[in-house]
Amino acid sequence: MAFNINTRTKTRGKVYTVISKRHGRVLEAVGMDEREKSFLVQAQIPVIESEGFANEIRKTTSGQANPSLRFSHYEVIVISLLITNFLTILIN
């Protein structure tokens, strides 16, 4: 899944933390407005990690970051990631 997130400078680190936790990667972070100190973060996460992503971003940043998700492409991922997620689902 590809997504864009509008966020402020002070919450950008929290956004990066959630992306990393979900095995994602940041593609680009562009400063949009110097007065507001806002950024547009473009990133990707595996589809399997996208469930509840928007809610987690909003909760972690106290509603100051707004994600917009869209399907972008298929990609082979490391099998250990699939096993880890599958085991987490089984345990819960």
What pLDDT shows up at residue 90?
Answer: 74
Contact, 87 vs 17, CB < 8 A?
Answer: no
**pLDDT tens for each residue of 32-66:** 766 768 888 999 998 888 889 999 999 999 999 98
Token pair for 43: 């990133």
Average pLDDT over residues 57-77: 86
What pLDDT shows up at residue 44?
Answer: 92
What pLDDT shows up at residue 47?
Answer: 84
Domains and CATH numbers, the chain: 2-91 (3.30.70.240)
Token pair for 88: 């987490």
What pLDDT shows up at residue 61?
Answer: 93
Contacts of 53-59 with CB under 8 Å at 24 or more apart are 53/1, 53/3, 53/18, 53/22, 56/18, 57/5, 57/15, 57/18
User: Which residue is associated with the tokens 């996460």?
Assistant: 45
**pLDDT tens for each residue of 5-39:** 988 888 989 999 999 999 899 998 888 766 768 88
